[in-house]
Amino acid sequence: MKLAFSGGIHPAGHKELTNNAVPVEAKAPEIVAIPLKQHIGAPCTALVEKGAHVYMGQKIGDGEGMTVPVHASVSGEVIAVEPRKFPGWGDVECIVIKNDFKDEFKSDLKAHDSADSLNGDEILRIIREAGIVGMGGAAFPTNIKAKVPLGDIDTVIANACECEPYITSDDMLLRTNPEKVLGGLKLIAEILRPKRIVIAVEDNKKEAIDVLRGELKNYPMIELSVLPTRYPQGAEKQLIYAVTKREVPSGKLPKDIGCGVFNTATCASVYEAVIEGMPVIRRIVTITGEGANEPKNMIVRFGTSYEDALNAAGGIKPETEKVLSGGPMMGLAQPDLKSSVVKGNNAILCLLPQKKYDETACIRCGKCTEVCPIRLQPLYLYRNVKNGNTEGLKKLGIMDCIECGCCAYGCPAKLPLTESFRLGKKAVREAMAK
């Protein structure tokens, strides 16, 4: 039975630009800048200094607490440890490596023919040492997310919805390497021991669905849930409701209602770490948009600058107005192209000049409330942001906003609702910290 969720929209997909683009390896750049913080939590401490030789796959940063290590994506010489641009977080300390183009590989991770000899704790340790985070964009450390007492999770969901327009990186991963996604999902299930294992995909990915149906014959414990296409179905809470009809209460996490959700690229990374002994050093990135000369899916090494990644994909048109990290709904515009491709970076979107609209007064039409998947009241949130009323914002539940952009998409007044809510959440956090 197909289950819907509250609100949501149906924006134009624009996926035809890359939905037949089999991922190709991007040329490795001469310089990579590996950020020491590519995850939610504490930044890593550099384990190498300027002048050191590093190997591809070598752990070059780590720390304690809520942190996961980072690894070199090329072999070569460390030429600096310094702040560099990060997509969305400003300047972040980076290990800058000059590529020797030898790709000499060396890692502490070991390959395994199967996971039969490994228990849950051992798999968790490998996941952490591989530096795996939520690769759908959240970048939450996977070893922490999957470390839940046995019995607390009864449903594990692999999120293959990829509902954001333009992006096809997960779609192509499913079509080209389904065994890695399903194998990694099975490994996560070995840790959590759920009663139900689901891979959820939207019905606009017909080729991926056909591939999955064929591959799932080898994984009888995993069920396929095909959901009607609707944005933002890939958001964690909305996906959980669509698959299980359970609601995650305000201020709670999926684990509090017995669910665990993992992105498909995260699942594939778990497989590569445990079975192949490969740390997270690259990923599929959709390089797309009407401003891209040759939209395609590329396998890009972490630390590659946006400029180098775009050049590897054929460059951008001179009239390109904006380059986003991510998709058009939740992506962040980049002030320059020096930012590094990182673990949670699934797309680089190049946009031509868009039609400009002047903001007008809110007419209280209620369209923003109708489409909000969290059932918030964006028109009142916007008013409180403008008035600087943090107490009012807290009462209205602004911290539950997932910044999906549905409200701004349909606003006839063209108000910058999503942008204002980001500022409002920041103001609430700052007020709570005082």
Annotate 137-195 with DSSP letters as a single string.
TT--BHHHHT---TTS--EEEEE----STT--HHHHHHHH-HHHHHHHHHHHHHHH--S
- Residue 422, judged by CB atoms within 10 A of its CB (0-12, 13-18, 19+), counts as middle
**Hey, what are 81's tokens?**
């440890």
User: Measured between alpha carbons, how far is 248 from 116 in angstroms, rounded to an integer?
Assistant: 34
**Hey, what are 347's tokens?**
């797309």
Task: Give tens-digit pLDDT for 312-340.
Answer: 999 999 999 999 999 999 999 998 899 99
- Location of structure tokens 């005082």: 434
pLDDT-derived band at 116 (thresholds 50, 70, 90) equals confident
| Mean pLDDT of the region 366-375 | 95
Task: Give tens-digit pLDDT for 374-414.
Answer: 999 999 999 999 999 999 999 999 999 999 999 999 899 99
Task: Give tens-digit pLDDT for 126-170.
Answer: 999 999 999 998 889 999 999 998 889 999 999 999 999 999 999
Task: Give tens-digit pLDDT for 81-108.
Answer: 999 888 776 789 999 999 999 999 999 9
Q: Give yes or no for residue 281 having a pLDDT over 50.
A: yes
| Mean pLDDT of the region 49-66 | 96
Give the model's pLDDT for residue 354: 87
Could you tell me how far CA 270 lies from the centroid of its own chain? 15
CB contact at 8 A, 145 and 231: no
| pTM value surpassing 0.75 | yes
SS3 238: helix
Distances (CA, A) of 93 to 16, 26, 111, 391: 37, 24, 31, 35
Q: Give yes or no for residue 211 having a pLDDT over 80.
A: yes
Q: Give yes or no for residue 3 having a pLDDT over 80.
A: no
Give the model's pLDDT for residue 235: 94
User: How many Cα neighbours within 13 Å face the side chain of 139?
Assistant: 21
Pairing of strands 222-227, 196-202: parallel
Give the model's pLDDT for residue 356: 85
Give the model's pLDDT for residue 1: 41
- The dihedral sign for the CA sequence 53, 309, 21, 267: positive
Beta bridge partner(s), residue 199: 158, 224
User: Measured between alpha carbons, how far is 251 from 400 in angstroms, rounded to an integer?
Assistant: 7
pLDDT above 70 as % of the chain: 99
Task: Give the Cα-Cα-Cα angle 265, 266, 271 (nearest 5 degrees).
Answer: 95
Task: Give tens-digit pLDDT for 217-249.
Answer: 999 999 999 999 999 999 999 999 999 999 999
